[in-house]
Chains A and B, each alone.
Chain A
């Protein structure tokens, strides 16, 4: 299962020396471009097409079906349409912050994929602090949301930004503590080690994925992840029926695309974290070269789950959200951490 990181594989492939630094920088850029393209393709598929189709299926409608097979070419049409819209700069926006916010939201989410092992040898980097790094990049998006909310000079945006902070602050800690309970099993923050630790079988045909070893932590993490990516029942920061569109109310044209894109990459990043630490990463039946297929099936599974929740679960109020986060999730995640420690201690 353990394979060389992507830049090294690429260097060997084209016959260059993987020990020289300039070669590694070049190959890292090629690998990073590959990862970037891969994630952008997924987001393009999810945003303008899959999301509409899934929501339509839940609400008994048909959705996009006019352009191309199954309406797939709507992706191209939407990309051109959105990029060629006029960019309206509202009165009194805080200029550098207003322009930087979409950039921060989109690029920090993409940054997390550097350490995610996608299987079939596609694993850009494998630092020892992998899991801590991926949590750090995933939570950086909140900074972008605050910038967007404050700089827009719009009351809805401002309220949306404040709500986004309140929500991320309340669910960040349960998320990370539940992630830490997995580290108790593996004894390592390195992503490849976490995946390798889930290769044995548990009972019968069941693999020892941490979702099966510790289902309680898995459920907690899924809920906290919904709050982290801001989907129902925790879509308070956007709440279209209350505050228009929250922090993205004043964004048009390419900036809207970037904010929206960042949100979808963020959902996929959440899915990638869940797949890696709870669902065995790229593990699955068949040869190891199929790893990437299994990995993407898993993160699309998580995406489908967020869309399901979006269609089926009513939104909680902001005060309920705070209570669930601080009084429910935090206490449960601390209990989960200590319980896991006791169980591992008794077994070990």
Chain B
């Protein structure tokens, strides 16, 4: 049994070689006709104004990104547990294996509930979008 990562590395080489070959073939085939106005970014036919990197985007959404980091690490911690679960149940009994994970997921669910109540998992929470909704938390 050889090291499987040699084969994975080989596929990485192939996976890069295929798109690069396509780029090379295309650069041989395609014409190049530089013209004024052709390179304007597409804005439904209007003359583009300003840079796209000046868009004011709702920063409130960083809360969802934070939640993602927490739950992503959680999945990393759950994976080893799922791998040993079946054998461990046979060895030490179900309660000892399952209960810690129930507590762990419970803590996370409480956290999710808190974020949910605070409106963190909501796409827009600007005053303008929610004007008139006084009960809005």
Contact = CB atoms under 8 A, between A and B. Distances in A.
Contacts of A176: 75
Given A83-B29, A107-B16, A327-B116, A155 B52 contact: yes
Contacts of A169: 64-65, 68
Given A114-B7, A172-B68, A244-B42, A326 B121 contact: yes
B8 to A, nearest CB: 4
A24 B2 contact: yes
Interface residues of B, number: 75
A111 B4 contact: no
A323 B19 contact: no
Contact of A28 (B10, B23, B40): B10
A318 B85 contact: no
A180 interface: yes
B18 A36 contact: yes
A228 interface: no
A304 to B, nearest CB: 25
Q: How big is chain A's contact interface, by range?
A: 35 or more
Q: Is the interface of B mostly helix, strand, loop or mixed?
A: helix
A154 B43 contact: yes
Contacts of A7: 2, 6-7, 10
A117 interface: no
A5 B85 contact: no
B14 A29 contact: yes
B79 interface: yes
B97 A326 contact: no
A127 B18 contact: no
A307 interface: no
A92 B122 contact: no
A111 B12 contact: yes
B7 A188 contact: no
A84 B33 CA distance: 13
Most B Cβ at <10 Å: residue of A31, A172, A254, A344:
A254
Given A29-B13, A341-B101, A254 B83 contact: no
Given A84-B29, A89-B39, A326-B64, 4 more contacts: A5-B2, A169-B68, A187-B84, A338-B105
Interface of A: 5-8, 18-19, 21, 24-25, 28-29, 31-33, 35-36, 40, 80, 83-92, 102-103, 106-108, 110-111, 113-115, 124-127, 132-133, 150, 152-159, 162, 166, 169-170, 172-173, 176-177, 180-181, 183-185, 187-189, 244, 249-250, 253-254, 257-258, 261, 318-319, 322-323, 326-327, 330-331, 334, 337-338, 341-342, 344-346, 348
22 contacts: A31-B10, A32-B10, A36-B11, A36-B18, A84-B26, A86-B33, A90-B41, A91-B48, A92-B41, A110-B14, A152-B41, A158-B52, A180-B75, A183-B79, A183-B82, A185-B86, A187-B83, A187-B87, A318-B123, A319-B122, A345-B89, A345-B97
